[in-house]
Amino acid sequence: QLMNSLWKLIAHASKNMQKGDSASIVFPGMADQLADRTILPKLMGHLDACKDVCDNFGVNTVLVPLAEQNVVKGFTVKSYRNPNNIAGTYSSDASEMKFAPDPFWDDEEEWDFSGIDEEEDGNSIDGDRHVSVASEIPDDDQVITDLSKTWVDKMMADLALCPFTQSSIKSGIPAGPVHYHVDRVTAMEDAYAAYWSEVCRIETAPESTISTTLHVLPEFCMNSVELFEQWADTLTGTLEALSVEELLQLIFFHPQWTFRDGGDRSGAANAANYARRSPWPMVNILRTKQVRLAQKGIPTGLVYQQVRAPSTARDLTL
């Protein structure tokens, strides 16, 4: 709950607050935990790691502990964002980005842009030949959910890549419902907030209601598996640092996933990569108790050994 609240505050500040704005949040029910000298450094260490991949957090948005009489009660977020004058001010629409004046720019210098839109042979470009490219991401969340379920059925269940997945709707030990949540976040701060919101959901829901969660992020790092992996690494790091590993385990999927551990499964063309390649970025949030029960009867490495040949994975289509 604490992480969920903090990231919602950070995400809000990074988009809506300006230089001089601040907001605080207190956690009266966590006084003992925040007073623990080991917990606060681990929490701030996690947040410091997240700054390396965030767009605004750590650049123009900061978070500091809120203390009274040397006792931490909560946290304060402060904004240093100037949406009008900062060079390269972030905007999802590039045409709306604002830049500081360039001291080396000469308004009186003339530039000749004639012929810039012509092809090398001198012929004008035929506008009719330039058709718009349809987005590979469906606009309907239900379509994304349905395609995700098809992928789970074919890859995770039919090929037994995940030995304790029975189908797209049943997984775990004992088998329970799989919860699908589609979130169209694009910014890092929003992705953290969305992830912790799903963690809270599975934490508070009984296993009979949600056995496992597939958090689907169709517009997040779709074309950058490296950035997605950096984000994933910061979440994996919280499992031990914040004592979350006793509750949850995480598995990450991406359309361009490639194992880089130096083992037999390494390399972009290796069939084992398809065990972690999905239609769009996803996070599988698993209950630790169920994972441990499943592992008792599963030989180490079985998940990847069952990808028998490259043609097996390539021949599967959604």
pLDDT digits (tens, 9 = 90+) for 228-271: 999 999 999 888 888 888 899 999 999 998 876 655 555 555 66
Mean of all residue pLDDT scores within the chain: 80
Q: How far is it between the farthest Cα atoms of the chain?
A: 76
- In the predicted model, what is the mean pLDDT of residues 291-309? 51
DSSP 52-98: TT-SSBTTTEEEEEEEETTEEEEEEEEE---TTTSTT---SSGGG--
* Residues of the chain above pLDDT 70, percent: 73
* CB-CB contact of 230 with 52 (8 Å): yes
Judged against a pLDDT cut of 80, whether residue 277 lies above it is answered with yes
Tokens, residue 192: 């953290």
Q: Which residues contact 265 (CB under 8 A, 6 or more apart)?
A: 259, 272, 273, 304
CA distances to 15, 130, 210 from 10, rounded to whole Å, are: 9, 41, 28
pLDDT-based confidence at residue 298 (cuts at 50, 70, 90): low
- Going by C-alpha positions, the residue among 119, 165, 187 that lies closest to residue 286 is 165
pLDDT-based confidence at residue 36 (cuts at 50, 70, 90): confident
Which of 35-39, 293-297, 307-311 shows the highest mean pLDDT?
Answer: 35-39
**Given this model, what pLDDT does residue 99 score?**
55
**Given this model, what pLDDT does residue 170 score?**
87
Which residue is listed with tokens 């390269």? 88
Judged against a pLDDT cut of 60, whether residue 65 lies above it is answered with yes
* CB-CB contact of 56 with 189 (8 Å): yes
The one-character DSSP state at 39 is: H
- In the predicted model, what is the mean pLDDT of residues 199-210? 94
291's enclosing H/E stretch is helix 288-295
CA distance 62 to 81: 10
* CB-CB contact of 55 with 47 (8 Å): no
pLDDT digits (tens, 9 = 90+) for 142-164: 999 999 999 999 888 887 777 77
Residue 286 DSSP SS3: strand
Q: Which residues contact 309 (CB under 8 A, 6 or more apart)?
A: 271
- Going by C-alpha positions, the residue among 128, 27, 30, 18 that lies closest to residue 78 is 18
**Given this model, what pLDDT does residue 96 score?**
54
310's enclosing H/E stretch is helix 310-314
CA distances to 22, 146, 165, 318 from 149, rounded to whole Å, are: 42, 5, 12, 10
**Given this model, what pLDDT does residue 318 score?**
34
Judged against a pLDDT cut of 70, whether residue 308 lies above it is answered with no
- In the predicted model, what is the mean pLDDT of residues 281-288? 94
**Given this model, what pLDDT does residue 103 score?**
64
Strand partners, 64: 76
Which residue is listed with tokens 């690494």? 233
